[in-house]
């Protein structure tokens, strides 16, 4: 990862040098490129700040020709509606979670399969390798240009009254998910029931007893203060990613220089986010513990037991996508 990040930074530097070689008149006469960028998380969420950083960088590299307006907290569109407008070209860019793309390409189911990646190295090899590239390209038929992925960071299961350490701990729990079918199937195999509600409604739903658990990222959990109502947290060995996308028709209409600026900057910001989102893990755990919560990471033995309970899920994936691709991701575990 360091090598890739270093290479990206060098390319980033040479783009700036190349663009400085153009005359001021060239940029003064350039058509302004306005990018509407809806975000589903709050203004202070690291993913929103990352998108805003993207906007500042492309604006600088294009000498002001590219202007990005980020709309956090779903103030412009919720994700589903935003993606619909993106396919039509009235929204230019987004980077929502991978679960929202299953409707456009079933291959996105592979991204969030629980226990399938042993560590960050395996996950990033998948995201930034041939399989990840194939998944991104599968969006083209829907007029969506897949640019890159960004790791959403540590995933957790947080519950009201019990700390998850074994499959039987899931019995009787009603867990909120974002709606990803693979996540829901895994939780059902482990003994829980699931429900789909917006993350912004989780706090009140937990207070009222509508749910007694949530599956989400550690960062979202912390920013929503969910430790106040769901204080028992177990690191969930599942993965998820934000997907940087653009309207394909709009993308192809861009000047190649500007398209390259946007492409390389999005990839650079995604890599920055990969590093950032794991670096704050300890900080979030301290916040949880400060408020009286408990945190647990499954041991190798506990992981093996959990994985054995969801074997039917892997079998279904192999039938759907082929044994070769699933075994390749799992390294035949």
Tens-digit pLDDT profile for residues 174-200: 999 987 788 899 999 999 999 998 888
Q: How confident is the model at residue 333 (pLDDT cuts 50, 70, 90)?
A: low
Which residues, 6+ apart, have CB-to-CB distance to 171 below 8 Å? 191, 192
Helix extents (H) in 77-217: 79-88, 120-127, 130-137, 181-189, 202-207
Over 90: is that where the pLDDT of 5 sits? no
> Is residue 66 within a helix (H) or strand (E), and if so which, with residue range?
strand 66-71
pLDDT in tens, 279-288: 999 999 999 9
Which residues, 6+ apart, have CB-to-CB distance to 284 below 8 Å? 218, 219, 221, 222
pLDDT in tens, 131-152: 999 999 999 999 999 999 999 9
pLDDT in tens, 93-108: 999 999 899 999 999 9
Tell me the pTM. Answer: 0.80
Which residues, 6+ apart, have CB-to-CB distance to 224 below 8 Å? 199, 200, 202, 203
Average confidence score pLDDT of the chain? 89
CB contact at 8 A, 82 and 76: yes
Could you give all domains of the chain from N- to C-terminal order, each with its CATH number?
2-151+241-279 (3.40.190.170), 155-238+281-330 (3.40.190.170)
Which residues, 6+ apart, have CB-to-CB distance to 40 below 8 Å? 73, 74, 78, 79, 96, 97
How far is 10 from 15, CA to CA, in rounded Å?
A: 9
- Grouping H, G, I as helix, E, B as strand and the rest as coil, residue 233 is strand
């Amino acid at each position: 990862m360091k090598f890739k990040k270093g290479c990206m930074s060098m390319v980033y530097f040479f783009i700036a040098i190349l663009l400085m070689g153009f005359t001021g008149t060239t940029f003064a006469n350039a058509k302004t490129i306005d990018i509407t960028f809806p975000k589903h998380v709050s203004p202070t969420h690291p993913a929103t700040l990352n998108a805003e950083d993207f906007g500042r960088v492309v604006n600088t590299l294009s000498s002001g020709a590219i202007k990005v307006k980020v709309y956090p907290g779903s103030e412009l569109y919720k994700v589903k509606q935003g993606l619909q407008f993106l396919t039509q070209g009235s929204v230019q860019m987004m980077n929502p979670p991978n679960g929202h793309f299953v409707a456009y390409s079933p291959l996105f189911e592979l991204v969030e399969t629980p226990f399938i990646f042993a560590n960050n190295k395996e996950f990033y090899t998948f995201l930034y390798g041939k399989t990840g590239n194939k998944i991104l390209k599968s969006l083209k038929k829907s007029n969506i240009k897949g640019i890159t992925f960004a790791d959403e960071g540590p995933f957790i299961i947080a519950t009201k009254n019990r700390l998850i350490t074994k499959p039987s701990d899931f019995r009787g729990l009603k867990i909120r998910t974002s709606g990803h079918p693979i996540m829901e199937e895994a939780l059902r195999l482990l003994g829980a029931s699931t429900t789909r509600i917006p993350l912004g409604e989780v706090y009140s739903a937990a207070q009222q007893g509508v749910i007694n658990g949530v599956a989400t990222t550690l960062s979202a959990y912390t920013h929503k203060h969910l430790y106040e109502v769901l204080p028992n947290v177990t690191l969930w060995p599942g993965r998820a990613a934000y997907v940087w996308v653009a309207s394909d028709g709009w993308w192809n209409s861009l000047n190649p220089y500007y398209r390259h600026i946007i492409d390389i900057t999005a990839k650079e910001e995604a890599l920055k986010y990969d590093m950032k989102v794991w670096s704050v893990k300890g900080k979030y755990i301290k916040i949880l513990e400060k408020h009286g919560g408990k945190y647990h990471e499954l041991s190798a033995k506990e992981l093996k037991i959990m994985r054995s309970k969801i074997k039917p899920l892997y079998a279904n994936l192999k039938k759907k996508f082929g044994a070769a691709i699933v075994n390749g991701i799992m390294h035949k575990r």
